[in-house]
Amino acid sequence: MDKEVVVITGAGSGLGASLAKKYSEMGAHVCLLGRNKGKLQNVADLLHNEYSIYQLDVSIKEEVDKVFQAIDQEVGPIDLLINNAGTGVFALAEQIDEKSVHDMIDINLKGTIFCSQVVLPSMKQRNKGIIANIVSTAGLEGKVTESVYCASKFGVKGFTESLLAELKDTSVKVYGAYMGGMKTEFWSGIYSEEQTKNLMEADDVADIIIDNLKPRRNLFVPQVVIKNKF
């Protein structure tokens, strides 16, 4: 039996790294995608099964097309795509600079769209596969100092729900994970260690996502909301 091919964007740290380790332990061939090859290699060094590393900026369509074509040729058809790459800049709406606006829309929203677009034809042809979008609770409600971040994540929510509607008569599954803040380097330079010490652990969130995505007879979870206790 061929190994499951799992592709994870933003796999160099945080939740992406946790998911990579856990899927590797489960025997999958994990494809680690991200902009920083060194960080991807650090995660890969902790894996126990076959893996591949692909340097990628998900906001650049040509790069996405090229990398995903390489994965298909070198590893095989993608069984699970986890759109995890994301970035955030937090300030009052009028204080967010133009580059930060572009970065959040380009990476969080366009990146999710581009990566999903490129796997959909094969998944639909094979009538199998899962697209899992890591969204954030910022895709469910507006938050102070997170206006543009929320705008990008609301966009991902709309894209995810539209995919669900488009694929409802197929065996291709779409999943949205809406989680609160996690104890990861995402918050470096934004919150202090004291402010993040009680946030959720990325490994715990990864466990919930993986459990939701397990194949079950007559059952699929289209979305989950995971929140901190406080």
pLDDT of residue 15: 95
pLDDT of residue 229: 79
pLDDT of residue 48: 86
CA 89 to chain centre: 18
pLDDT of residue 18: 96
pLDDT of residue 190: 58
The answer to whether the beta carbons of residues 196 and 11 sit under 8 Å apart is no
Catalytic residue among 23, 51, 149, 175: 149
| pTM attached to this predicted model | 0.94
Q: Output the six-digit token pair for 107.
A: 């990476």
Q: Which CATH number goes with the domain that contains 201?
A: 3.40.50.720
Catalytic, 149? Answer yes
Could you tell me the residue range of the domain that residue 189 belongs to? 5-226
Q: Where are the beta strands (DSSP E) in the chain?
A: 5-9, 29-34, 51-55, 80-83, 130-134, 173-179, 223-226
Count of domains observed in the chain = 1
Q: Give me the tens of pLDDT residue by residue for the chain, a chain 230 residues long.
A: 579 999 999 999 999 999 999 999 999 999 999 999 999 999 999 998 999 999 999 999 999 999 999 999 999 999 999 999 999 999 999 999 999 999 999 999 999 999 999 999 999 999 999 999 999 999 999 999 999 999 999 999 999 999 999 999 999 999 999 998 775 666 555 555 666 676 878 899 999 999 999 999 899 999 999 988 76
